[in-house]
Structure 1
């Protein structure tokens, strides 16, 4: 997205999505779309986008590679559609065959995760839920997920009915109120996620086996100038900053030199 198109897009869509302040404008501009209401990955506080994904990209693309970044949140399906329509340059998400049709992805993951099963401690079936160890054990339970999470729908057992909430927060709310039994989520670290949501009654979780655990990669639209060169440099940077511990520090919310 060139500077003129970027400014026009900001004026046209600024009211529709939540915007984070731009980083330095001296370098190339990259507009990144995220899922709204999806802590710890992406969420808004007082109109500013926060989370593991924008924080990591601010560090890697902004601080280290010199990009000017605009972060926007929308319902996840819309975020993806807008990038397909060239209203936005990038996503940070799990590569899928459909997304690869319009995005080139980094080889290196920005965020790696584990898979957790979330449920209410007050659920009448809590003891049975505690026995769930694999995705195949979900039969007979009410499962909730959120719209646009193509990765999760791709790994669930065939024939399993899933209630589709509008956002991650709504999914957790339904579980917390025992209106659905379980929510499956992938997180780099479960600490902090439940406290951010402040659910009552409390939601608890345990890790389950999943050979296809999600990882989040930078995906840039195929028409973006020099996209393959950008991603090659990005991959080298991710490897270097992960080896140094700086990227993990950003994800954990620690000082990068800690």
Structure 2
């Protein structure tokens, strides 16, 4: 497996031949992060880096708040990001057909919420609105903008996902709708395991893709990347990478 490992403080490489992709990412375990030595880790990082390496492209990863990641791909300051394609993002970036990972969205709430039983019985976004619930999310969450804000449901924004759980525990919102694997990592790290509960209510999953700015010719090679993603699904590479990270603590 050939993976380009970006080190903290490493000088950004020159890209004279279009074979280096600069990818902006928000630190988000276990998708993409850095270990104690500054090496890139995370299963999104490994999947995307391996896919790019199979088409002869190296990746260089730079960490920023999620809102800035999107702004820099939009402006062309960065080549790419890993996220869910939305109509707005596809105005300035190209992507590939098949997602490399599909993430389930589940409702969390405070353990002593007065409407706990009603929250557990939610079946639609309309139910959230009718219960007059407020959603807590993080800045730059496109799924929330498309599905929650657009539905007229009140939303409070934290700067980072890790801050969402403290807000929820402190009753600065009623529910959060997030991916359980990443959520519990932050909940436990914050010492809130007894204050937050995960319900059995889930919504439409989020499909993750590599998005590359239309300003760069390398975005025309996304069909090659897509073919490699399908190959990696068939040969078990993606399943093996994801399996290694499930239940792993952040290094």
TM > 0.5: yes
Cα distance in structure 2, aligned partners of 1:20 and 1:94: 28
The structure-2 alpha-carbon separation of the partners of 1:127 and 1:20, relative to structure 1 and needing over 3 Å to count, comes to: farther
Superposed CA offset, 1:166-219 (max 9, x none): 11111122123333221112x3xx3464135423331332343434x2111111
> How large is the Cα RMSD of the aligned pairs?
3.0
TM-score (structure 1 length as normaliser)? 0.78
Match in the other structure for 1:59? 50
Provide, for residues 67-108 of structure 1, a one-character-per-residue CA deviation record: whole Å limited to 9, x for no partner: 221111211111111112222110111111111111111111
By relative contact order (CA 8 Å, sep 6+), the higher-ranking structure is 2
Please tell me whether residue 217 in structure 1 is matched to residue 209 in structure 2.
yes
The count of aligned residue pairs is 232
Gaps of 5+ in 1: 1-9
Partners of 2:98 and 2:11 lie apart in 1 by 26
Q: Secondary structure at the match of 2:211?
A: strand
Provide, for residues 15-36 of structure 1, a one-character-per-residue CA deviation record: whole Å limited to 9, x for no partner: xxx678989x998111101123
Residues 1:206 and 2:193 are matched in the alignment: no
Residue in 2 aligned with 1:248?
239
In 2: Cα distance, 1:22 partner to 1:247 partner: 27
Q: Among residues 161, 177, 183, which one is paired with 1:168 in the alignment?
A: 161
Q: Which of 14, 32, 55 is equivalent to 1:42?
A: 32
Moved over 6 A (4+): 18-23
Tell me how far apart the structure 2 counterparts of residues 148 and 191 of structure 1 sit (CA, whole Å): 20
Q: Which residue among 106, 121, 137 is the counterpart of 1:131? A: 121
Deviation per residue, 1:107-146 (Å, 9 max, x gap): 1112111121122324344333222232222122221111
Q: Which residue of 2 aligns with 1:153?
A: 145
TM-score normalized by structure 2? Answer: 0.80
Which residue of structure 2 lines up, in the alignment, with residue 231 of structure 1? 222
Distance in 1 between residues matched to 2:187 and 2:11, nearest whole Å: 24
The 2-side partners of 1:19 and 1:56 are apart by 23
